[in-house]
C-alpha cells in the first residue's frame, strides 16, 4: 500500500510480517462485511422471536445483500465514526441509508458493539485455528522425517553453550517435534472455549431481548455455528488471552528452533544451515555473508507475539461490565499477533523444508573435544568402585590438561595408574565408543514419532 504505516501493510516489507493467506480474514472490507452479516443474522432471529417486525429483518437482509463494501462505503462509515465517536454508529447509519423505512430503525436492536465485534472475532479466529493446525501438521511431518533420518546421527550435546555429551540430531529434532505436538493439542483443546459467541446487550443481562432472551441467544449462536455462553463475557477476556498466549508459545518454539540454527550455522560450528538460494544477499558491505535470515526473523516475530500476549494479559483486568480501555486494545493486538504468528509458522515450515544437516561436521566437532564428551561415562564407571564424588574429582583433575593443553583425554585415562587398576583397556575403549554414548536418544525418537503419528 502506497500510504501504509504499519509494517505488515508495507508493499516492500509486508510479506515478512504477515501471512498472506490470513490477511483477507482481517482486511477492513471483510471485517465490515462480517459485522453486517452478524447484524443481519441477529435481525432475522429477532424477527422469528417477534422482537422486531418481520419486515425490518427483510429490509436489513436486502440492504446487506445490496451493499457494495467499497472505498466509498467505508469512507461513509468512517465519517460517521468521526461525527459520533462511536465504534458502530457510523456503520449503522450507513446501512440505515440503504434500508427501507422500517429496517433501519431496528438495526442492532438491543445489541452492543461487543456483541457484534466479539462474535465476528471468534468466527475469524476459528478459521485461523484450522489454518494453524494444518501448518503445524505439515511442520510436524517434516520433523518426523528429520528425526527418523538422523536418529543415529551423532552430534555434540551442549549445555551453557559448551560441549557436554554426545546426542543425536534426531533426538534434538524430536524435542522440537514433541513440543509442537503439545502446541497442536493446546490449539485443539482451546477450540471449545474459543467457539463461544457474544450476545448479551448493554450490561450483559439480556434485558433488552425480553422473556425469550436465552432461547433467542441460543438460536442466534446456532445460526453462526457457535456455542452459547453460560453468562456474558463482555468483561471476561480470558478466551482471547488464552489464544494469544498459545500463539506466544508456538512462536517461541519457532524462535527456539531458529536460535538453535543461528548458533549451529556459525562457521566455527557449521552443523546446521538454512538452505541457500542463489541471489540472496547477506550484507551490502560484506558480500561473502550468508546470514540465517529466516532463523533470525523467527525471533523477531515471536517477540512481537509475546508482547501482544502480555498486553492481552493486561486486558484481563476489567472495570465493571464493560471497559473500553481494555477491550478496544484487542482490535489492534489480536489481528496483529495472529497475522504475525501465521507468518512465523509459514517461515518455520520453509526453514525446516530446506534445512541442511552436515553429519561430517557434527562428527568433527565431537572429535575436536579430544574425548572430553566421554568424561561422564568414565566418571560413572569409576564411581562403581571409588564412589561418585571421588570419581568426579579424579576425572575433573584428569580433564584439566585436555582443556588447557589440548591433550587427548582417552590417553590420559589409559595412562592413569589408578584407573588402570580398575578398568581394562577393553572397558575403557567401550566408554569412548560413540555408538554406545548416546543413551536412549534413538529410543526416544521412536517414542515421539509413534506418539505423534497415533494422534
Question: Which has the closest alpha carbon to 199: 183, 216, 175?
Answer: 216
Q: Is residue 1 part of a domain?
A: no
247/342 same-domain check: yes
Distance CA(234)–CA(274), nearest Å, equals 45
Q: Which range has the worst mean pLDDT, 6-15, 164-173, 252-261?
A: 6-15
- Check pLDDT > 50 for residue 325: yes
Q: What is the pLDDT of residue 285?
A: 60
371/337 same-domain check: no
213/300 same-domain check: yes
Question: Could you tell me if 441 and 171 are in contact, meaning their C-beta atoms sit under 8 angstroms apart?
Answer: yes
293/280 same-domain check: yes
Q: What is the pLDDT of residue 291?
A: 83
Q: What is the pLDDT of residue 359?
A: 98
Q: What is the pLDDT of residues 178-193, one digit of tens each?
A: 999 999 999 999 999 9
The answer for residues whose C-beta is within 8 angstroms of residue 61's C-beta and 6 or more apart is 40, 43, 44
Of the three residues 312, 334, 364, the one that is the final residue of a domain is 364
The C-alpha cell at 66 is: 445490496
Question: Which has the closest alpha carbon to 101: 133, 151, 60?
Answer: 60
The domain of 72 spans 7-48+52-106
Angle at 380 between CA 377 and CA 382, to 5 degrees: 105
Of the three residues 337, 364, 391, the one that is the final residue of a domain is 364
Of the three residues 106, 128, 150, the one that is the final residue of a domain is 106
312/322 same-domain check: yes
Kindly report the CATH number assigned to the domain that includes residue 37: 1.10.275.10
Q: Which range has the worst mean pLDDT, 283-287, 408-412, 418-422, 429-433?
A: 283-287
Q: What is the pLDDT of residue 284?
A: 47
Q: What is the pLDDT of residues 248-296, one digit of tens each?
A: 999 999 999 999 999 999 999 999 999 876 656 555 465 555 788 999 9
Question: Could you tell me if 265 and 273 are in contact, meaning their C-beta atoms sit under 8 angstroms apart?
Answer: yes
80/134 same-domain check: no
57/139 same-domain check: no
Q: What is the pLDDT of residue 326?
A: 85
Q: Which range has the worst mean pLDDT, 3-12, 251-260, 338-347?
A: 3-12
Distance CA(273)–CA(264), nearest Å, equals 7
Q: Is residue 184 part of a domain?
A: yes
Contacts 24+ apart (CB under 8 A), 144-147: 144/177, 144/449, 144/452, 144/453, 146/170, 146/173, 146/352, 146/355, 146/357, 147/171, 147/173, 147/174, 147/177, 147/445, 147/448, 147/449
Q: Is residue 259 part of a domain?
A: yes
The answer for residues whose C-beta is within 8 angstroms of residue 100's C-beta and 6 or more apart is 55, 59, 62
Q: Is residue 2 part of a domain?
A: no
Distance CA(153)–CA(176), nearest Å, equals 16
Q: Is residue 254 part of a domain?
A: yes
Question: Which has the closest alpha carbon to 147: 168, 161, 128?
Answer: 168
DSSP string for 31-93? HHHHHHHHHHHHHHHHHHTTSS-HHHHHHHHHHHHH---SHHHHHHHHHHHHHH--TTHHHHH
Q: Is residue 138 part of a domain?
A: yes
81/120 same-domain check: no
Give me the percent of the chain exceeding a pLDDT of 70: 96
Kindly report the CATH number assigned to the domain that includes residue 406: 1.10.40.30
Kindly report the CATH number assigned to the domain that includes residue 205: 1.20.200.10
**DSSP category for residue 207:** G
Q: What is the pLDDT of residue 128?
A: 99
181/320 same-domain check: yes
* Axis crossing angle, helix 238-265 with helix 330-353, rounded to the nearest 10: 30
Q: Are strands 162-168 and 154-159 parallel, antiparallel or unpaired?
A: antiparallel
**DSSP category for residue 19:** -
Q: Is residue 300 part of a domain?
A: yes
308/410 same-domain check: no
How many domains, the chain?
3
31/161 same-domain check: no
Question: Could you tell me if 431 and 377 are in contact, meaning their C-beta atoms sit under 8 angstroms apart?
Answer: yes
Distance CA(336)–CA(334), nearest Å, equals 6
205 phi and psi, to 5 degrees? -90, -10
CA 399 to chain centre: 43
Q: Is residue 213 part of a domain?
A: yes
The SS3 call for residue 368 is coil
- Check pLDDT > 70 for residue 200: yes
The C-alpha cell at 434 is: 560413540
- pLDDT, mean over the chain: 94
Q: Which helix (H) or strand (E) holds 273?
A: strand 272-273
Q: Which range has the worst mean pLDDT, 157-171, 299-313, 392-406?
A: 392-406
157/276 same-domain check: yes
> Known catalytic residues?
160, 283
Amino acid at each position: 500500500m502506497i500510504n501504509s504505516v504499519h509494517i505488515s501493510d508495507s508493499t516492500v516489507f509486508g510479506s515478512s510480517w504477515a501471512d498472506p493467506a490470513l490477511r483477507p480474514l482481517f482486511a477492513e472490507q471483510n471485517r465490515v462485511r462480517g459485522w453486517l452479516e452478524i447484524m443481519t443474522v441477529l435481525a432475522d432471529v429477532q424477527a422469528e422471536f417477534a422482537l422486531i417486525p418481520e419486515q425490518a429483518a427483510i429490509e436489513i437482509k436486502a440492504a446487506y445483500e445490496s451493499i457494495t463494501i467499497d472505498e466509498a462505503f467505508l469512507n461513509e462509515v468512517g465519517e460517521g465514526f468521526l461525527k459520533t465517536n462511536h465504534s458502530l454508529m457510523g456503520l449503522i447509519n450507513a446501512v440505515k441509508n440503504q434500508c427501507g423505512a422500517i429496517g433501519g430503525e431496528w438495526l442492532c436492536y438491543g445489541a452492543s458493539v461487543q456483541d457484534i465485534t466479539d462474535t465476528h472475532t471468534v468466527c475469524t479466529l476459528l478459521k485461523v485455528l484450522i489454518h494453524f493446525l494444518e501448518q503445524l501438521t505439515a511442520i510436524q511431518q517434516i520433523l518426523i522425517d528429520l528425526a527418523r533420518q538422523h536418529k543415529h546421527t551423532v552430534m555434540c550435546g551442549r549445555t551453557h553453550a559448551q560441549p557436554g555429551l554426545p546426542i543425536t540430531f534426531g533426538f534434538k529434532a524430536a524435542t522440537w517435534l514433541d513440543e509442537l505436538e503439545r502446541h497442536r493439542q493446546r490449539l485443539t483443546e482451546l477450540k471449545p472455549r474459543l467457539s463461544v459467541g457474544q450476545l448479551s446487550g448493554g450490561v450483559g443481562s439480556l434485558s433488552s431481548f425480553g422473556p425469550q432472551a436465552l432461547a433467542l441467544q441460543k438460536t442466534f449462536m446456532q445460526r453462526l455455528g457457535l456455542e452459547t455462553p453460560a453468562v456474558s463475557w463482555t468483561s471476561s477476556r480470558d478466551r482471547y488471552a488464552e489464544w494469544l498466549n498459545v500463539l506466544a508459545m508456538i512462536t517461541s518454539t519457532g524462535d527456539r528452533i531458529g536460535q538453535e540454527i543461528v548458533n549451529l550455522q556459525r562457521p566455527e560450528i557449521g552443523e546446521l544451515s538454512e538452505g541457500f538460494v542463489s541471489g540472496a544477499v547477506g550484507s551490502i558491505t560484506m558480500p561473502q555473508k550468508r546470514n540465517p535470515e529466516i532463523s533470525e526473523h523467527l525471533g523477531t516475530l515471536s517477540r512481537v507475539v509475546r508482547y501482544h500476549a502480555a498486553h492481552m494479559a493486561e486486558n484481563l483486568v476489567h472495570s465493571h461490565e464493560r471497559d473500553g480501555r481494555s477491550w478496544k486494545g484487542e482490535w489492534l493486538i489480536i489481528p496483529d499477533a495472529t497475522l504475525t504468528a501465521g507468518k512465523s509458522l509459514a517461515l518455520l515450515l520453509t526453514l525446516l523444508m530446506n534445512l541442511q544437516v552436515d553429519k561430517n561436521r557434527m562428527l568433527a566437532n565431537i572429535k575436536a573435544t579430544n574425548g572430553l564428551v566421554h568424561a561422564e561415562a568414565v566418571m560413572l564407571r569409576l564411581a562403581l568402585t571409588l564412589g561418585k564424588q571421588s570419581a568426579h574429582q579424579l576425572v575433573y583433575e584428569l580433564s584439566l590438561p585436555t582443556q588447557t593443553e589440548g591433550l587427548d583425554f582417552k590417553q590420559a585415562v589409559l595412562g592413569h595408574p589408578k584407573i588402570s587398576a580398575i578398568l581394562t583397556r577393553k572397558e575403557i575403549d567401550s566408554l569412548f565408543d560413540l555408538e554406545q554414548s548416546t543413551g536412549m536418544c534413538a529410543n526416544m525418537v521412536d517414542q515421539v514419532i509413534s506418539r505423534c503419528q497415533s494422534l
